[in-house]
Each structure stands twice: as structure tokens, then as C-alpha cells.
Amino acid sequence: MDKSVKNIAILGSTGSIGRQTLQVVRNLHSRFRVVGLAAGQNMELLSEQISEFKPKYIYYQNQKSRFQIPNSNFLPMEEIAGLPEVDTVVIATSGKAGLSATIAAVRAGKNVAIANKEPLVMAGEIITGEAKRRGANILPIDSEHSAIWQCLRGEKQPPSRIILTASGGPFLGYSESQLARVTANQALKHPSWKMGKKVTIDSATLMNKGLEIIEAHWLFGVPIDNISVIIHPQSIIHSIVEFADGSLKAQLSYPDMRLPIQYALTQPERVPNPELPQLDWNKTRVMTFGPPDLKAFPCLELAISAARKGGTYPTVLCAADEVAVDLFMKKEIKFTDIARLVKQALKNHKPITHPTLEDITETDERTRKLTLKLARKKK
């Protein structure tokens, strides 16, 4: 067995990041062997993936179709994440789903490539603390955090400021009253990124950027108040880092998740990826930057406020948002109700500082119930 081949487990393999991770792995088949795949409900795609990549271990949430797959062992996600033969775990799940597998991977000292931001937002203190103790490497896949990570390569001092760029989403420039009327179908049409549904809606409310502030805080040890957001609709600059001497570095590319996915898997090496288009400066003539509209998109300030308070507040933020986004996609609430419900959930919360994983799980469950109740009350 070639020791230079890395064994990889992909949790959430049928989602947007999971499918793109498999595209990257397909191009780099001499470097990676897929030993584990975990999916939610999409059994058809999972079967195809199993046929192609022949993982030893699989997991799926779909209880209705426990079909038998030869030479594949069914295991819970947390167990796949901690298997001794796994080198790198890709957390490509959505929302809260990846939390326990992330913790299992970190506790097992793996390379943990994280695309799913909620685990870090909810349990950043626990995850980064465990990673330090167990020698796990947390490798950000989120394009903004990959950009920051790339800009910090070789730097010996932490950045003095982080500037997260945001496309602004499909509703950039909309007024509050316009936003009250937008539909889920409109919100799912992101102008620059191809992503999963939850993160696409979060991009439309700017909650996604708020979660990224908290993620950046935990990944790079930068205080919340030194992380800011600028709207950059062209999505060419993926984030910017400022240093003590006033110099700034930015990472650029066309928006394509396959680049940060590949970087997380191959770094420190950079491997040519002929499938990705080279940035054409004849087409990139203008880049614009501006402040976010905090009045029309209150989720961003809700996230910053939850981050400043810390403790279980970010868990409430995530749980309420996940429930609210789900209700919005089911057409049960309006777009503007997402921020309203998150705000009410945060207001109702009795916080716990330095929460344990149990505190986080309980807070999550309680907040989900509360948010559903608050949503029904409205009607």
C-alpha cells in the first residue's frame, strides 16, 4: 500500500461540498483513497458514489432503504470520523448535523477539513481546544477562511484585522419591504456561488457572513471586534487579512468551491487543477466594495452580538436560524421572519458560559422547539 496515498472520509458526500470534494478526489486519484462516505437521504447518488469510489465504510440517515452493499460496513458517522485508517475527514454536512462527527474527528487527532460552519460556531471553544490537545489539524474549506488561511501562510504574527468579503447575495440593495415579499426560489438563486440550500438562504440573509465571523474568530484567534465585513459583489477577492505594519493580503480566484476544497486536501502543496478556469483580467475590470446594509439584513448584527456575548448564544443563533430557514423554504414564514425569530430566540435565552457539549446539545434542542413555537404563535 502506497504510504503517500491519503485515506479520506467524506461526511455529507451527496451534498454540494461532498460532490465537489469527490470531483477533486477523482482528479487526484493517485493521492487519495476514499475509505468512508456518509450521506443523509439521497440513496441514489450515494449508491453511485459507492460504486465508483468503493469505500470500506458507509453511513446513511435514510432508514427506509437499508440496502446491502458488498464489502462496505455500515457505521455511524462519528465512528467513521475516528477510524485509525482515516487520515483526513471532510466535514461536508449541513447545519448542526456535523457537530458530533467533527468532535469525534478532532478527538481522534485527524486532519479535519471543515466546510460545515455551524459546528465551529456552536462549539468553537471545545473543538479548537480539543484540536490543540489531540494534535488535530483544522483545515478550513469555507472560501473566506481558506483565503485567510492562505494569506497567513508563512506569517509569524497573528493578523491585526480580518476583512471578510461578502457577495451580498441575491437581494443586495433590496429594501426591508421588498425583502418581506421574496420567495425561497428567489433566495436560492445565488449570484456567484453554487452551494447547498441552507448556506444559500443564509447568504441571502447575511446570516452566513455572521456565522463566518464567529468561525474566523475560532480558527484564527482574532477578536470578534477586529473582524469586519465588506460587500464585494464580484466575489473575486475571497477575504483580506491586515497585519501589524498596515500591509494587507488578499486571496483571489473565480468563485468555485473546488479550489478551497483541493487546497485543504493537498496543502502545503499546490496542485494544478485544469478543470478550474484561470482568472482572466480582461474580464475582471472592476471590483467594488461597500458596507453591508445592517438595517435590511439584521441577521449580521444578531450574529455579531451573539458572538460578543459568547457562551451558548452562538448555539441559539444557529439552532433558531436552522429552524427558521427550514420554515422559510417550506413557505411557512416570510424571509424577514428569519431574523425576527432568531432575534426572539436570542432574547429569550438564559446563557451558559463555557458550555459543555451537553449544554450545547440541550440549548440546541430547546431553541429548536422554542423557535417552532414562536413561529406558530405568529400565525
Beta-strand pair 111-114/88-91: parallel
Query: Which residue, 293 or 322, is less far from a copy of itself as judged by CB?
Result: 293
* Closer CB to a copy of itself, 270 or 376, in the complex: 270
Binds a copy of itself by CB under 8 A, chosen from 54, 197, 249, 340: 249
Q: Is-cis flag, bond preceding 55, omega within 30? A: no
| 287 lines the binding site for a copy of itself (CB under 8 A) | yes
Check residue 269 for interaction with a copy of itself (CB under 8 A): yes
**How large is the C-alpha radius of gyration of the chain?**
20
Residue number, 46 or 231, with CB nearest to a copy of itself:
231
Candidate segments 94-102, 112-120, 270-278, 297-305, binder of a copy of itself by CB under 8 A: 270-278
Return the residues of window 77-96 that contact a copy of itself according to CB under 8 A. Answer: none
**Shortest distance, position 178 Cβ to a copy of itself, whole Å:** 23
Is residue 277 a contact point for a copy of itself (CB under 8 A)?
Answer: yes
Of 4, 68, 71, 282, the one binding a copy of itself (CB under 8 A) is: 282
Report the interhelical angle of 335-348 vs 299-309 (nearest 10°).
20
User: Smallest distance from the beta carbon of 23 to a copy of itself, in angstroms?
Assistant: 14
The answer to whether 339 contacts a copy of itself (rule: CB under 8 A) is no
The candidate with the shortest Cα–Cα distance to 138, out of 220, 237, 83, 243, is 220
| Interaction between residue 248 and a copy of itself (CB under 8 A) | yes
Indicate left, alpha or beta for 168 from its phi (over 0: left) and psi (-120 to 50: alpha).
Answer: left
| 257 contacts a copy of itself (rule: CB under 8 A) | no
Alpha-carbon distance 163 to 165, whole Å?
6
Give the integer Cα–Cα distance in Å for 219 and 331. 35
Sign (positive or negative) of CA dihedral 186, 201, 114, 293: positive
Q: Smallest distance, Å, CB 370 to a copy of itself?
A: 37
Instruction: Give the nearer residue to a copy of itself in terms of CB position, either 43 or 287.
Output: 287
In the complex, minimum distance from the CB of residue 163 to a copy of itself, in angstroms, rounded to a whole number:
7
Q: How many residues does the chain have?
A: 379
Residue 137 touches a copy of itself, criterion: CB under 8 A:
no
In this structure, is the dihedral angle defined by the CA atoms of residues 322, 327, 331 and 332, taken in order, positive or negative?
negative
CB-side neighbour CA atoms (13 Å) of 341:
33
Told to check if 263 binds a copy of itself by CB under 8 A, we report: yes
Are the C-beta atoms of residues 235 and 193 closer than 8 Å to each other?
yes
Under the binding rule (CB under 8 A), the answer on residue 129 touching a copy of itself is no
Closer by beta carbon to a copy of itself, 88 or else 146: 146
Question: Are the beta carbons of 308 and 191 closer than 8 angstroms?
Answer: no
On whether the CB atoms of residues 116 and 92 are closer than 8 A, the answer is: yes
Binding marks (x or -) toward a copy of itself, 161..190, rule CB under 8 A?
Answer: --x---------------------------
| Residue 5 in the binding site for a copy of itself (CB under 8 A) | no
Scanning the structure block, which residue is given the C-alpha cell 437521504? Answer: 41
Query: For the chain, how long is the longest CA-to-CA vector?
Result: 61
Q: Which is nearer to a copy of itself, 108 or 240 (CB)?
A: 240
Window of 12-20, 58-66, 260-268, 311-319 that interacts with a copy of itself by CB under 8 A? 260-268
C-alpha cell at 103: 468532535
- Find residue 60's DSSP bridge partners: 39
Q: Which of 133, 270, 354, 378 binds a copy of itself (CB under 8 A)?
A: 270
Residue of the chain from 167, 251, 312, 336 that contacts a copy of itself (CB under 8 A): 251
* DSSP letter for each residue of 47-64: HHHHHHH--SEEEE--TT
Q: Rule CB under 8 A: which residues touch a copy of itself?
A: 150-151, 153-157, 163, 228, 230, 237, 240, 242-253, 259, 262-263, 266, 268-273, 276-279, 281-282, 284-291
